Amino acid sequence: MSDSKDKGGLSRRGFLQGSGAVAAATALGTIPTGASAGQQAGGNGQQVPGMGPNGVKLSLNVNGRSMNTTVEPRVTLLDALRNYLDVTGCKRVCDRGSCGACTVLVDGKPVYSCSMLALEARDKPIRTAESLVAGAKLDAVPEAFARFDAQQCGFCTPGFVVAMKAVLEANPKATQAEVERGLCGNICRCGTYEQMRDAIYSLCNQQRRT
């Protein structure tokens, strides 16, 4: 696996490092259609710049604020948020896409920030649990969690409230079953699922009555 086996872009690795976003804008063409069959794909590939492996500049839009840092390509969104930007609401528990503690909203949808590269989250609005508190005022979701006693140790809570916020935003009139489905991507070791479901369902009920 020596570098000499690599193709075009890599030999220019050092030169191009960090200039990715700008150079990528020169990209040509669209998805191949039947017409492009047989065409040698080699040509325009050379123009795609590589980023890294050393640190590259990263700008993220977190909870409405633009935040800047420098990360190696291997840094996940979770680690960039926690370790580079000090946004620590998202928690690192399994680091394998299997527990939900790291859940954040990207483009309004819940995702596991441990299983996404920070570089993949450029240009997308990111929301973490921090966005559900303004000063001393809690958003309706964490407020309902508190009211329904929907946590014990609380370590899973930041991931759950973010996932539940997405459920509520997608469907303010969600049924109990729909709320439960929304909970499916998060694990609570203390087992407070029923209280969490009831907390969110109480908010859906409110919507229903109006």
Ligand X SMILES: Cc1cc2nc3c(=O)[nH]c(=O)nc-3n(C[C@@H](O)[C@@H](O)[C@H](O)COP(=O)(O)OP(=O)(O)OC[C@H]3O[C@@H](n4cnc5c(N)ncnc54)[C@H](O)[C@@H]3O)c2cc1C
From another protein, ligand FES, ligand X, none, interface partner of 93 (C-beta below 5 to 8 A by class): ligand FES
Closest to 14 (Cα-Cα) out of 45, 46, 44, 53: 53
Select the residue interacting with ligand FES from 95, 139, 143, 178 (CB under 6 A). 95
98 binds ligand X (CB under 6 A): yes
Rank residues 107 and 169 by Cβ distance to ligand X and give the closer one. 107
Relative to beta strand 125-127, strand 56-62 is: parallel
Number of residues in the chain: 210
Rank residues 7 and 209 by Cβ distance to another protein and give the closer one. 7
Q: Is 107 left (phi over 0), alpha (psi -120 to 50) or beta?
A: left
In whole angstroms, the minimum distance from the beta carbon of 81 to ligand FES comes to 12
Select the residue interacting with ligand FES from 23, 55, 67, 92 (CB under 6 A). 92
In whole angstroms, the minimum distance from the beta carbon of 6 to ligand FES comes to 31
> Three-class SS of residue 69?
strand
In whole angstroms, the minimum distance from the beta carbon of 135 to another protein comes to 29
Distance (Å, whole) CA 20 – CA 27? 11
- Number of other residues whose CB lies within 10 A of the CB of residue 155: 14
| Range in contact with ligand FES (rule: CB under 6 A) among 11-19, 56-64, 149-157, 169-177 | 149-157
